[in-house]
Structure 1
C-alpha cells in the first residue's frame, strides 16, 4: 500500500494569504519592527474575509515571526516572513503533547537525582550553561544553545545511564519543544530565571525542591501558542 495517491487537499485560503504577506514583506523591504497594514485593509486589498487574514496572522504568531499587540497592530519580529509549511506545523502540533509529557516525567526525576548526586564539576557545567544562555539572550537570541547545555548538564549530574539514554532517544523531539518554547514572547528571560531556580535547588542538595522547580519549568515550556492553534479554523472559502 502507498499513500502517494491519497486524496489531494485543497490549500486553505489563509495559506494563500500567508504567501501574499511573505511577498509583500519581501517586495516592500520591510524589516523587524515594521508594522503590517491593519487586518481590515489586508482583507479588502486581498479580496478575502477578515477571518482568513486573522488566521494567517495567528500562524505567523505561532512561528514567532510577528507580534500582534492588542489594539496596536501587528509588527514584524524578523526581517522576513519565511513561513514553515502549515502541514509541518500541524504534524508538530500533533506530537508535541506526548513529548512534553515525556519531558516532565524524565526531567523531573533527573533534577531530583542531580540534587542527590551532583559533583562540583556538574555544578560548574550548569553554571557555565546559564552564563552561555544569558549571553545569547543579551545578544538578541533566544538562548537555545544555552538551554540545551543546561538540560544536558542536569542529565549528566543525575549519573543515571539509563535515564540519559532515554533522553538521547528523544533528543530531536526535545529540540523541537525547546525551539517552540523559546520563541514565545519574553520566554527566554523567564526560562533563564527558572533554570537558575533549578540550579539553586540542585546546588543546595534539595531533591524535592529541584524536582518541583523542574516540573514548573517544563510546564512553562508547554505553554505555547502552537497548542492553542486550530489549523482547520480557516477552511477554503
Structure 2
C-alpha cells in the first residue's frame, strides 16, 4: 500500500531490488567474452577485438570490459599487451568449470588445501613427463621467456606463470590432468592476486632482485624436464612450492613429507 508522500511505498519497492556489484557484472562480461572466443573459434595467439568493440558486442561499458579482460588474464586465458590489445593464450574449452573457484569463495580457509593439491598434481605430472621422455618443450620454453619479459606487470606475470605451469603438466600427456591442474592453478592465483590486478598495481617481487629470484624458481623446473632428471625436478618443484606458501603466508605442516 502506498502511504502519503509515497515514502513507505518507495522503501518497499527498493527493498525488492538488489544492486549488482561491479565485480559481479565484470565476471558476467568475462563469461560472455569467454563464450565469444569459443563461438568465433578465435585461436591461441590471435588478437581479440578492441575494448570498444567488445563493449558493443556484450552491451556493457569499456570500463567493465577492461576489468573483465584483467580477470581473464589472471585466469591465463588472455594476455594484455599495452598498446596492442588482448590476445588469446588458451582455449577456454580445455578448462574445468568453476567448482574449485566456488569452493575457495565459500571457504577461503581452504586456500592451503588448494595449494597442496596444485603442488601434488604438478609434481606427479612432471615425474610422468620425464618417465615418458617428453620432448615437446618449445611451448614451455616460450612460456619461460614470457615470464622473463613480465617484469613489473602483475597481469602479464600471472598469465605467463599460468601458461608455464600448465605446460609442465601438459607434458604428462593426460588432458584430464591438465584441465584439473589448470583449473586449480587458475582459481588459486586469481584468489591470491586479484587485488593487484584490479588495482593495476605490481607487487614488489616483480621488480629488482626479487624478480630475478622468481625467475630462478622456474628455470630449474624447465631445465630438469629438458634433461629428464626426476630428482632435479622434484627439488625444483619443492623449492617453488615452499616459496609459494611463503608468498601466500600459508602454513601447511608436513606438506613435504614422503616426497
User: Structure 1 length as normaliser, TM-score?
Assistant: 0.49
User: Structure 2 length as normaliser, TM-score?
Assistant: 0.45
